A and B are shown apart, each in its own frame.
Chain A
Amino acid sequence: MEYFLQQLINGLTLGAVYGLIAIGYTMVYGIIGMINFAHGEIYMIGSFIALICFSILGLSGVASVPLAILVVLLVTVLFTAAYGWAVERLAYRPLRGSFRLAPLISAIGMSIFLQNYVQLLQGARVKAMAPMVTGGFVVTERAGFQVTLSYMQIIIMALTLILMAGFSQLISRTALGRAQRACEQDQKMAALSGIDVDRTVSLTFLLGAGLAAVAGVMTTLHYGVIDFFIGFLVGLKAFTAAVLGGIGSLPGAMLGGILIGLVEAFWAAYFAAEYKDVAAFSILVLVLVFRPTGLLGQPEVEKV
């Protein structure tokens, strides 16, 4: 039971991170109907920028941990969002109205490019950082097995909750959210009623990249080890999460993320850890085959 509880906590933490990244996939898919394959790489770049910022702050002797985390969050979100914007501007925008698979191929190219870009600039070896936030609560303890909920895990879950709440408000209340929903339904009609479609799409990419950057900061703090290749698997799993939850749906992305995180944690704990990635992919295949709309998604009608 204690072991189960511990895995539940770990899985929820992991799931929160996947959920944050999955929102980027789901928003972009909703608005321009493409899989932004390079989104995992944006998360990876976020992790690198976060680690660089932490190192700079560490060298300049900032002692207060909360202040450091806050500053790094802000800086990382800004710089990573710039990458998200640039990727859209360079690789996707010229392709609107091109043939169906062109944006996906371009996105794969972008993903390979960004991976190697970071590898060339920062080296192929693993980068690591000493944990900044240590300690936590002991939830229960029996027969020498402690169930701990670390402060870092609390920060991750709390931040995810806050961001999710903020995001649903943004989508349902603000002018930007309305513009996004309008573009989702019909871009031409949205443009006719005075919405700047290009600007809305750009902002969507900015927001998605910003959330991926938050995920990057959190995983860098929590796990402390990054390399240029982390974006690939995490990106795939976050995409799986978005599909599982129903692509295009924000609460779906979060739900999917948490489910994927839980499956991965429990699978690694109770079955074979080597096959945990296979478990995630199998979910993707099963969902797509049996319920392509996901858990909370809307059925998609193909029009001629």
Chain B
Amino acid sequence: MDLGNRFGDDGIQWGAILKDAGLAALVALVLALLLFGVRLSDGGGGGLEFRPWWVVIAVAAVFAGRAAVALWIGTRKPASGTALPWFDRAVARLSEHKRLLFAAFFLAVAILPLLPVADRRMVDLATLVMIYVMLGWGLNIVVGLAGLLDLGYVAFYAVGAYSYTLLAIHFDLSFWVCLPLAGAIAALFGVLLGFPVLRLRGDYLAIVTLGFGEMTRIIIINWSSLTGGSEGITGIPVPTLFGLRFTPSPAAGETAFHQFFGIPFGGIHKLIFLFYIILILALLTHLFSERMRKLPMGRAWEALREDEIASRALGLNPVLVKLSAFGLGAMFAGFAGSFFATRQGFINPSSFTFIESAIILAIVVLGGMGSQVGVICAAIVLILLPELAREFAEFRMLLFGGAMVAIMVWRPRGLLAHRVPSVRLGQAPPGALRGGLP
């Protein structure tokens, strides 16, 4: 319904707004009546709990919300293109100093664990957020730059984690040897999976990658002799710093980290070390994708995302271009996966469900597809908030889903949608900087 003309010459049209809100409340009543009003008992038995007040509250909330939205839209000036013009201006201003912001962010993050206030929990949380930032940046290559919607990204994460674990346990290789190997295996996996399906249209591709993700998980669960089934694998070794191990009691003839530097042993040293590893890995991912955007390959990704037919007419080989994005994205997921395995010390298939893929995708989408800063912001909001506010955690996935819909409806290019075009002809017209891509 068009709410734009509620604000007529004779003031706010209360009648229209009330009627509209009443209709919304009626729909809410239908939707809420059974699912809100009646709670099934767990298991069998058929016992029911009736809660009429929930229905009343839900309907009242929808009525009030709808009326408030109608009033808010009605009293604003006619829409000026985007929903939040002041926000766009702020983003545009900020992105002029993008490099500075990035440097500041990384500096702040880099000294974080060295501050006296840093405790185990804080470093641990920062590590967790950085894992998702890295995964977000990795997926951003596939989704944001190449425009391939990958719903099975977690499969490559799993392949990386299991490759590292199996290599480290069976062949006794160190983390630093396994890391590139795990990345290469994940990339190979990506190329193998991608090759037959990358010809498909975007939405088909999404569903097929989702199927691959689930298949990988099911195979990991059932191939118990190799992967330990749903119990997973424990006792994954921790990386060493140039051969220095993080252990209170090193084996004979070995120097531990704290002995080498002559400091008392502290459990937090290992966490800080792990944090720096993921920080460097994430930074690598970022630099890689920023450089790629300036190389012919990255340009080809973006060209293909914008218009496949035109790119093909210009002589790009779409399968090759897509495959490279898919494989490189998978490689970074493989790196992140091996880091995840070594940080946890154990892995099992329950860490690699579709929900995980959806969370990573939500980070990319909410941040603004193709935007590197957006991924950081989204990862902080989506990962840190639920960890800090436990009572909020129950609603986490509900809000995830709702936010994905809301972002698509109001700001389809993501929260930080502002993106400077990689290539531009001459001087851009003054209006072109606002509101993302045309």
- Contact partners of A82 in chain B: CB under 8 A: 27, 30-31
Q: Which of A29-71 contact B (CB under 8 A)?
A: 34-35, 45, 48-49, 51-56, 58-59
Min Cβ gap A76→B in Å is: 9
- Closest Cβ neighbor of B219 among chain A residues: A278
- Closest Cβ neighbor of A284 among chain B residues: B211
Known contacts A285-B196, A302-B309, A104 near B206 by CB under 8 Å: yes
Contact A108 B151, beta carbon cutoff 8 Å: yes
Bound-state CA distance A99–B411 (Å) is: 11
Contact A121 B36, beta carbon cutoff 8 Å: yes
Min Cβ gap B258→A in Å is: 44
Q: Output the residue of A34, A98, A128, A274 with the most chain B CB within 10 A.
A: A128
- Contact partners of A114 in chain B: CB under 8 A: 401
Bits for A172-204, please: 1 = Cβ < 8 Å to B, else 0: 000000000000000000000000000000000
Bits for B146-159, please: 1 = Cβ < 8 Å to A, else 0: 01010100000000
Known contacts A91-B409, A281-B214, A49 near B309 by CB under 8 Å: no
Q: Which of A100, A104, A130, A239 contacts B44 (CB 8 A)?
A: A130
- Contact partners of B397 in chain A: CB under 8 A: 112, 115-116
Check B38 for interface membership: any CB of A closer than 8 A. Answer: yes
Contact B151 A52, beta carbon cutoff 8 Å: no
Q: Which of A58, A100, A102, A125 contacts B46 (CB 8 A)?
A: A58
- Contact partners of B34 in chain A: CB under 8 A: 49, 52-53, 79
Q: Name the prevailing secondary structure of the A interface residues.
A: helix
Contact B218 A277, beta carbon cutoff 8 Å: yes
Check B9 for interface membership: any CB of A closer than 8 A. Answer: no
- Contact partners of B118 in chain A: CB under 8 A: none
Min Cβ gap A273→B in Å is: 10
Contact B203 A102, beta carbon cutoff 8 Å: no
- Contact partners of B218 in chain A: CB under 8 A: 274-275, 277-278
- Contact partners of A100 in chain B: CB under 8 A: 202-203
Check B115 for interface membership: any CB of A closer than 8 A. Answer: no
Number of interface residues of A (CB under 8 A): 69
Bound-state CA distance A233–B296 (Å) is: 40
Check A289 for interface membership: any CB of B closer than 8 A. Answer: yes
Contact B203 A35, beta carbon cutoff 8 Å: yes
- Contact partners of A128 in chain B: CB under 8 A: 43-44
Bound-state CA distance A192–B38 (Å) is: 46
Known contacts A52-B38, A104-B149, A274-B222, A110 near B43 by CB under 8 Å: no
Min Cβ gap B195→A in Å is: 10
Q: Output the residue of B214, B355, B404 with the most chain A CB within 10 A.
A: B404
- Contact partners of B394 in chain A: CB under 8 A: 120
- Contact partners of B204 in chain A: CB under 8 A: 243, 288, 292
Q: Which of B198-212 contact A (CB under 8 A)?
A: 199-200, 202-204, 206-208, 210-212
Check A122 for interface membership: any CB of B closer than 8 A. Answer: yes
Min Cβ gap A211→B in Å is: 19
Min Cβ gap A25→B in Å is: 10
Contact B202 A110, beta carbon cutoff 8 Å: no
Bound-state CA distance A56–B49 (Å) is: 10
Min Cβ gap A31→B in Å is: 15
Known contacts A49-B35, A56-B48, A277-B218, A126 near B412 by CB under 8 Å: no
Known contacts A55-B40, A94-B409, A95-B408, A101 near B203 by CB under 8 Å: yes
Check B361 for interface membership: any CB of A closer than 8 A. Answer: yes
- Contact partners of B38 in chain A: CB under 8 A: 52, 55-56
- Contact partners of B362 in chain A: CB under 8 A: 109
Check A170 for interface membership: any CB of B closer than 8 A. Answer: no
Q: Which of A261-287 contact B (CB under 8 A)?
A: 272, 274-275, 277-278, 281-282, 284-285
Residues of chain A whose beta carbon lies under 8 Å from any beta carbon of chain B: 34-35, 45, 48-49, 51-56, 58-59, 79, 82-83, 86, 90-91, 94-95, 98-106, 108-118, 120-123, 125-130, 232, 236, 239, 243, 272, 274-275, 277-278, 281-282, 284-285, 288-289, 292, 302, 304
Contacts beyond the supplied A101-B147, A122-B35: 5 A-B pairs with Cβ under 8 Å: A51-B40, A52-B35, A102-B408, A112-B400, A281-B215
Q: Which 4 A-B pairs have CB atoms at the shortest separation, nearest pair first?
A: A109-B404, A113-B401, A112-B401, A281-B211
